[in-house]
Amino acid sequence: MPHSNTYSRALALGLLASSLALGQGFPERFAEIRDRATPAQLYSFLYALPKGGDLHHHAALSVYASTALEIALKQSKLGYRFHVRIGFHDCGDGDNGAALIYQNINHATYNKLSECRKSDFTPLDDLSATQRKSWLSAMILDQPGETRNEFFEEIVPRMAAIHRDPYFFADSFAENLKLFGREGVRYIEAQWTPVAMERPDGTLFPADEALAIFKKRMAEPDVAASGVAYRFQTTVIRFRDDMERQVAFQFDFVDKHRDLFVGINAAGREDNDKGYALRMLNAFREGRKTHAAIPMSIHAGEKSSPGHEVRDTLLLGATRIGHGVNLISDPDTMLLMRGNRYLVEANLISNRMLDYTPDLTQHPFAEYLRFGIPVCLNTDDRGSWDSNMTDEYFHAVKGFRMSWDEVKKIGRDSLSHSFAPPDLKRTMIESYDRDVDAFERRFLDADWEAELRKIEPAISGYARRNLVP
């Protein structure tokens, strides 16, 4: 068809002219898509949406179970051998009460077991197809009734031995950069403390050696090709008896590795009686005496009961709050956080899955946003929810009828409130603004339904179960 080019240009101009004639700018087009698209169309649209950073991201538990299994199976080449508990025998030692089905252990731990106890386990490589399916399901909150106890007390210990293999960590982090890059995320500020990383024989790598293994993997070309930048925060486990020692170590460690480590975080259940924020105040003040300022983002208010956890956590030195679900119950702190000095890292799917806000229409995310407290969307431990960043946007955009300006703002705020060094931050904000402009043109100038058919989103397991049936 000799005139097809001219024809399509005329058609495009016609569509543009008709949009303009209707006075339709992109905010109106966005609202039209939000309200009229089918769930599958909206998913494609939000998958293609340029996004900012994932600021609340636990690196190890952000890996999909399927990716984790695939990479764990390759570890035998490096000498790592994992064993999986597939049963319980009565060995007369009375110690299988706290044992977990599908728990992974390393070879050194396995070797220390009695012959009878060893028979509870099978090598990870030898799982049957059915056992592999069960193994995968055991790492995800995918069954009715599975919530925070399953997560904290089962999934975390099931994966712990595999997470201590630094080669596994580096490979799975690289895979995640690629997956996040495909859905438009351009920065990950992950939580990872490179301590307790193990050699195949179970002895510990010094933190610097574990870091060298990570850096070597990151120098491979597929990582740069992902287009996603990354930095880390270390994380204090707040309720542990050695909290003070952890804080002191992390001040030293981050200070020595500021090229890659940009902040300190603290995590762990706040409902533990040693998990409250002010227990850490002295330790953080001691750290500040001898180290130039280190940015802090700290978990706080990840609970549904009212309290001053967020206020107390700001006193620790945090300028970003992870979760902040119960900030809504503390008017003085809400007023304090209004403006632009602080940001709340919202984790909608995490809060839903762990039963802090089982009904997301009751989540305070939109109230913070519209009240003037900067917020962004994050994936937290997405491997355990089997979700992605698009799912977070889907819940937010649809559930709170977000406007286009609000969508752009949360993406931009995630970058401007990141702890990335100034040059990287500037570059990322520029690329975000450029990509947002191109996205607007793409969906304003053309027939949006036709445009959406060209997108092939990676639909997450969570989305298949909850958003795009």
Helix, strand or coil, per DSSP, at residue 191? strand
Tell me which residue has its CB nearest to Zn ion: 380
The size of the interface with Zn ion (CB under 5 A), counted in residues, is 1
Residue 386 backbone phi and psi in degrees, to 5: 65, 35
Of residues 146 and 380, the one with the C-beta less far from Zn ion: 380
Of residues 75 and 378, the one with the C-beta less far from Zn ion: 378
Of residues 198 and 302, the one with the C-beta less far from Zn ion: 302
What residues between 370 and 399 interact with Zn ion by CB under 5 A?
Answer: 380
CA distance 410 to 348: 14
Cβ 381 to Zn ion shortest distance, Å: 7
Cβ 464 to Zn ion shortest distance, Å: 24
Of residues 270 and 380, the one with the C-beta less far from Zn ion: 380
Q: Are 55 and 378 in contact (CB under 8 A)?
A: yes
Helix, strand or coil, per DSSP, at residue 461? helix
In terms of phi and psi (left: phi > 0; alpha: psi -120 to 50; beta: otherwise), the region of 200 is alpha
Of residues 166 and 301, the one with the C-beta less far from Zn ion: 301
Cβ 113 to Zn ion shortest distance, Å: 33
Cβ 206 to Zn ion shortest distance, Å: 27
Core vs surface per residue 442-458: b (16+ CB within 10 A) or e: ebbebebeebbeeeebe
Of residues 226 and 347, the one with the C-beta less far from Zn ion: 347
CA distance 312 to 217: 39
Cβ 56 to Zn ion shortest distance, Å: 6
Strands (E), 348-436: 375-377
Cβ 89 to Zn ion shortest distance, Å: 37
Query: Is the dihedral angle over the CA atoms 309, 417, 296, 167 positive or is it negative?
Result: positive
Of residues 380 and 413, the one with the C-beta less far from Zn ion: 380
CA distance 397 to 413: 16
Cβ 15 to Zn ion shortest distance, Å: 44
Beta strands 82-85; 104-106: pairing state: antiparallel
Of residues 380 and 440, the one with the C-beta less far from Zn ion: 380
Cβ 383 to Zn ion shortest distance, Å: 13
CA angle, 136 as apex, 361 and 91 as ends, to 5°?
120
Of residues 54 and 380, the one with the C-beta less far from Zn ion: 380
> 1-30 mask for Zn ion (x: CB under 5 A)?
------------------------------
Of residues 150 and 198, the one with the C-beta less far from Zn ion: 150
Cβ 246 to Zn ion shortest distance, Å: 16
Cβ 38 to Zn ion shortest distance, Å: 32
DSSP 228-239: -EEEEEEEEETT
Residue 140's nearest CA partner among 130, 150, 149, 132 is 150
CA distance 99 to 393: 37
CA distance 173 to 230: 10
Q: Report the half-sphere exposure of 382 (CA within 13 A, side-chain side).
A: 30
- The residues of the shown chain that bind Zn ion, judged by CB under 5 A, are 380
